[in-house]
Amino acid sequence: MEYYSRQISRLIRELSALPGIGAKSAQRLAFHILNMPEDAVEALSASITDAKRNVRYCRECYTLTDEELCPICRDGARDHKVIMVVENTRDLAAYEKTGKYEGVYHVLHGAISPMLGIGPNDIRLKELMQRLTKEVNEVIIATNSSLEGETTAMYISKLIKPAGIRVTRIASGVPVGGDLEYIDEVTLLRALEGRTEL
Ligand code: ZN
């Protein structure tokens, strides 16, 4: 990339470090940004730095939010006695898009993976257990159907069941290894409605 000036090369390098952005896309984005009006570029860079500075974990469900409690946890109309456990905030968004789930969530921020050395203490599992001291009717485990997701589901169910709380797992209509965020809403709803007892 020596044929670009230093600052253009730097912009391309930073962009290509993002997931899913290859060298070609990074170049296309870089030149697009250079052609944008200055205030639009400033708005873009401010949105990145503001989000990075202000986004934190919700005190209750640990999703990413810019307030102490996320809008879902603050919503009194939601059923706070049903908790759906998901791997990340994008999975939460996928279920929210269906508009049919009325409970609340718990975001683990990962899944147990002995192969990658990720254990129960590396995800927000302790925080989930702490929430279960309050009155909870059901915990729906909606981790991915990957090996890691299944391992995590089994682990959580073994942990929770002795407490006498109903534990369910979303149906396996979800393709194996499929990231929840890429699955369409109908499939997600079917998986939720067809959930089984663990
Ligand atoms: Zn929350």
Residue 174 Cα, ligand 1 centroid: separation in angstroms?
Answer: 25
- List the CATH number of the domain containing 139: 3.40.1360.10
- Give residue 176's pLDDT: 47
Q: Is residue 50 part of a domain?
A: yes
Alpha-carbon distance of 140 to 198, in angstroms, equals: 10
Residue 165 Cα, ligand 1 centroid: separation in angstroms?
Answer: 21
Structural domain total, the chain: 2
- List the CATH number of the domain containing 49: 1.10.8.420
Residues 84 and 37 grouped into a single domain: no
Residue 67 Cα, ligand 1 centroid: separation in angstroms?
Answer: 9
Q: Is residue 93 part of a domain?
A: yes
Residues 128 and 183 grouped into a single domain: yes
The length of the chain in residues reads 198
Which regions in the chain score pLDDT beneath 70?
1-2, 173-182
Residues 96 and 190 grouped into a single domain: yes
Residues 31 and 128 grouped into a single domain: no
Directed axis angle between helix 6-16 and helix 23-35, to 10°? 120
Query: What residue numbers bound the domain in which 35 lies?
Result: 6-54
Residue 144 Cα, ligand 1 centroid: separation in angstroms?
Answer: 20
Residue 74 Cα, ligand 1 centroid: separation in angstroms?
Answer: 7
- Give residue 2's pLDDT: 65
Q: Is residue 59 part of a domain?
A: no
Q: Is residue 62 part of a domain?
A: no
Q: Is residue 143 part of a domain?
A: yes
Residue 159 Cα, ligand 1 centroid: separation in angstroms?
Answer: 22
Contact 100, 189 (CB under 8 A): yes
Nearest to 76 by CA among 53, 52, 102: 102
Residue 162 Cα, ligand 1 centroid: separation in angstroms?
Answer: 25
Q: Is residue 80 part of a domain?
A: yes
Alpha-carbon distance of 43 to 184, in angstroms, equals: 31
Residues 89 and 30 grouped into a single domain: no
Q: Mention every residue, 6+ apart, whose C-beta is less than 8 A from residue 159.
A: 125, 129
- Give residue 184's pLDDT: 77
Residue 69 Cα, ligand 1 centroid: separation in angstroms?
Answer: 5
pTM to 2 decimal places = 0.79
What CA dihedral angle connects 65, 120, 137 and 90, to 10 degrees? 30
